[in-house]
Chain A
Amino acid sequence: MRESIIMKIHYGTALGAVALVTIHILFRMTQNFSESLQYQNVIANYHLLPYALMLEVVLILLSVHGFNGLRVILLELKQGIVYEKLINYGSIGAMAALIAYGSRTILMAGMGMS
C-alpha cells in the first residue's frame, strides 16, 4: 500500500476516534464517576446496542491509529528489509490481536455471557 494511503487512514482514524472517544467519556459523566464504573452500570452500557457498536468502532480506530503510530516510530528507529517487513506485518498482527481481544469483551458482555 502507498504510504500516502496509510497516512490518510492514520489521519482519518485519529479524527474518528476523537469524536467517538468524546462520547465514550461523556457516558462516564452521565453519573458520578465511580458509580458509572459499577458492574451493573457497565453491563447495562454493553447491552445498549448502539453504544456497544460505538465501542467496537472506537476499538478498531484506536488500534489502527495506535499501532500505525508505533510502526512509524519503529521504522524510523532502524532500517533493513527484514526488520521493516517484521515491523509492518507485526503491527498488523498486533492491531488484529487487540481488536479481537477487545471485540471478545464487547461481544460476551453485550450478549450477557459474563
Chain B
Amino acid sequence: MAVETISKTPEVSLPISSDSITLRISRFNPKNDLSPIFAEFKVPIQKWTTVLEAILFVKQNLDHSVAVRYSCRQASCGSCGMRINGKPALACYTKISELNSNIVTVEPMHNFPIIRDLAVDFKQMFANHKKMKPYIIREDSEIASDTKEFLQTPEEVEKYLQFSYCIKCGLCNSACPTMATDESFIGPQGLAQAYRYVADNRDDGKKERLKIIDQSHGIWRCHFAGSCSHVCPKGVDPAMAIQLLRGYLLGFRK
C-alpha cells in the first residue's frame, strides 16, 4: 500500500477533550485510484470514544467524503467491520482507549472487494451464506403440524444457539488464512451457519448441506487456525462449529 498521506486538522471548535489521536484512514476508490493512500486526521477523544465515533467525527468536521458503512453503533448489525491497527474488528465495538496507541489506522477488511474507502462488498459472503440453505428444511410445517409448533428443550437449543448469533459482519472471513488466497472457499461464516442448521433438531437438511460442503473448496480447506474465532465479536466461535460439522463427515458424530 502506498504511504502517501494527506493530513487534516480540525478548523472547527472541538468538544472539550484532554486527548487527541491521529486517525489514519485508507482512502481508495477503485474507479479512479490505482492504489490506496492514507488520509491523516487529528481527532479529539474521550475515554469512551469508539473508532466509529472517531470516523464519524472526521465525516462531520473534516472530510465528509470518507466512505464507511455503519448502522446500529452497538455491534448488532455487522456493518462497520474494518481493519483497525491491522486486525479485523467492529469499529463501533472498539474503544480507542483500548488500542493503547496515539495513531489509529483504519483500513477496509481483507478478502472483500473494496467499494470505496472503508466500505467493502459482501456479495460473495452473502452468496456463500445462501448456499448453505440457512433455514429449517423439513417436510411438514408448524402450521400443518398437530402440535402447532416444534418444541425444543433448552439443551437442544443450546446446541445451535451460539451459532445463530452471527451478525454477518465478515470479520471471520477477513481473518481466515485460507480466505486470504482461496476465492472459491466457502469461508468460516458460511460453514458455521451450515452447522447452525445441521445442529438444529427441527432440521432435516443435514444430508443436503453435508453434500454442499464436502467439495474441494468446502469444509476441508479449513485447517483449524482459529483466526475466525479469535476476531468474532459475538462469541459465535466459527472454528468450533466447523470442527463439529466436520465430525459428521469423519464419522465421529451421527
Question: Once bound together, how far apart are the Cα atoms of A26 and B182, in whole Å?
Answer: 41
Residues of A contacting B181 with CB < 8 Å?
Answer: 76-78
A109: interface (CB < 8 Å) = no
A75: interface (CB < 8 Å) = yes
Interface residues on B, range: 10 to 19
- Residues 215-254 of B, flagged 1 when their CB comes within 8 A of A and 0 if not, give 1111011000000000000000000000000000110000
Residue of B nearest to A11 (CB): B250
- Residues 80-111 of B, flagged 1 when their CB comes within 8 A of A and 0 if not, give 00000000000000000000000000000000
B195: interface (CB < 8 Å) = no
**8 Å CB contact of A79 from B184, B214, B215, B250:** B184
A96: interface (CB < 8 Å) = no
**8 Å CB contact of B216 from A3, A11, A78:** A3
Interface residues on A, range: 10 to 19
Looking at chain A's contact residues, is the secondary structure mostly helix, strand, loop, or mixed? helix
Distance in Å: Cβ of B52 to nearest Cβ of chain A: 33
Contacts of A63-85 to chain B: CB distance below 8 A: 72, 75-79, 84
Residues of B contacting A11 with CB < 8 Å?
Answer: 250
Residue of B nearest to A80 (CB): B184
Inter-subunit contact B221/A76 (CB<8 Å)? yes
Inter-subunit contact B183/A3 (CB<8 Å)? no
Distance in Å: Cβ of B146 to nearest Cβ of chain A: 38
Residues of A contacting B182 with CB < 8 Å?
Answer: 75-77, 79
Distance in Å: Cβ of A92 to nearest Cβ of chain B: 14
Inter-subunit contact B250/A8 (CB<8 Å)? yes
A4: interface (CB < 8 Å) = yes
Inter-subunit contact A76/B178 (CB<8 Å)? yes
B185: interface (CB < 8 Å) = yes
Residue of B nearest to A8 (CB): B250
What are the nearest 9 A-B pairs in CB distance? A76-B182, A4-B249, A3-B220, A79-B184, A4-B214, A7-B220, A77-B181, A3-B216, A76-B181
- 21 pairs, A vs B, C-beta closer than 8 Å: A2-B214, A2-B215, A3-B214, A3-B218, A4-B214, A4-B220, A4-B250, A7-B220, A8-B250, A11-B250, A72-B220, A75-B182, A75-B216, A76-B178, A76-B182, A76-B185, A76-B221, A77-B182, A79-B182, A79-B217, A84-B216
